[in-house]
Chains A and B, each alone.
Chain A
Amino acid sequence: MSAAPRPLYQRPLDFRRGRVELAHGAGGRATAQLVEELFLAAFDNEWLRTQNDAAALPRPAGRVVMATDSHVVSPLFFPGGDIGSLSVHGTINDVAMAGGRPLYLAAGFVLEEGFPLADLRRIVQSMAAAASAAGVPIVTGDTKVVEQGKGDGVYITTTGVGVVPEGIVLDGAAAREGDAIFVSGTIGDHGVAIMSRRENLEFDTAILSDSAALHGLVAALLAACPRMRVLRDPTRGGLATTLNEIARQSGVGMVLEERAIPVKPAVAAACEFLGLDPLYVANEGKLVAIAPADAADAVLATLRGHPQGRDAALIGHVTRDPDHFVQMTTALGGRRVVDWLTGDQLPRIC
């Protein structure tokens, strides 16, 4: 009978009071312990259990899409989510917007020396929960540690791969004159939730970040409308930026109806307070869909029939426009351009 192997670590990690140390990123015993007791414990799957640096994956059938995102959000914890769940949802959505069914995720962490292990564990467990709920495992990853003062607690980079069903071609350059423009729900929720926790701006609100994985919604949409032209999630820069990007890529213009764009009253109020325009505020659980006009009814019905699309709306149409303007009929009935975002939207006094 052989004796049990000597444990590699003297003591388990102190998740209550412990902090990230430079040794955790050095590649030695401390790194191994962090990986094992934190990451592997949370993400646990067949690939991570091999404890290899790379995951060997079966070749998927179909066109592969890959997307990557770095996450530097501050504050790390906000109403409705944290940097962990955000990083999982964000990359899953990027893959989904290309029409891909997400299959695997990779996660890289840059940790700041001194960051509390309790917070790190909370973030990692949140990632595990998000990945599990989405059915997309985190199969490989990396950890580095930087000196105190050189990082913002934690930065996370996630990369995702997925496979696109046959016949589906989604492209930002595919919008055509006459196409219908949809948004899957209320805009501005995420940005307002973040801002409500930013220093010097605190206000009390029940607004939660809308951070969510949308691949299920996308699958339903593509089944209902295989001729879908464009899908994109309006993250940084908000709905306005996403629409301007698509207009430019496709060489078209757009006309929107302000009254059709869904905004939660509390989000509208917060934006009013701070002098922000909801059109430019980030979303993390919404998508823009552009489809041929004759499929509009089917698209809207599919969106509204899905739990993540209950507040979906038809907000405008694609037009012919050599200047690629995105125009809008305002609530008042006048007209304005919905321009690209200039710099960062900062709260105003004027």
Chain B
Amino acid sequence: MCLAVPARIVSLEADEQAVIDVGGIRKRVSVALVEGVAPGDYVIVHVGYALARLDPQAAAETLAAMAAAGLEPGALA
């Protein structure tokens, strides 16, 4: 549940709003629930609100761990 999608912040607007981009689709959403986000950051958006930041470094680590798990026995970083 909680359909939410990773979105890139394109610009910050007045009234705690932001324009986000998901695969080329742009929409205005609220960033009232997150702090310190800047254009270029990725956030998780649910029902028109950004709920949390997505950490690109952690994402890369997760993918690397998935790849590693598939290669050798017991190799889960």
Contact = CB atoms under 8 A, between A and B. Distances in A.
A–B interface present (Cβ within 8 A): yes
B1 A203 contact: no
Contacts of A350: 1-3
Contacts of B64: none
B22 interface: yes
B23 A269 contact: yes
A349 B26 contact: no
Contacts of B25: 203-205, 266, 269-270, 273
Contacts of A275: 3
B67 to A, nearest CB: 15
B7 to A, nearest CB: 8
A337 interface: no
A79 to B, nearest CB: 13
A269 B22 contact: yes
A268 interface: yes
Interface in B1-16: 1-3, 5
B24 A265 contact: yes
Interface in A252-286: 265-266, 268-270, 272-273, 275
Contacts of A203: 25-27
Contact of B24 (A202, A205, A348): A205
A268 B24 CA distance: 10
A348 B3 CA distance: 7
B24 A349 contact: no
Nearest to A264: B24
Nearest to B21: A269
Contact of B26 (A205, A265, A268): A205
B66 interface: no
Contacts of B47: 349
Q: Which of A202, A204, A206, A268 has the most CB of B within 10 A?
A: A204
Interface of A: 202-206, 265-266, 268-270, 272-273, 275, 348-350
Give the top 9 A-B pairs by smallest Cβ distance, nearest first. A269-B23, A350-B1, A266-B24, A204-B26, A203-B27, A275-B3, A269-B22, A269-B25, A265-B23
Interface of B: 1-3, 5, 22-27, 45-47
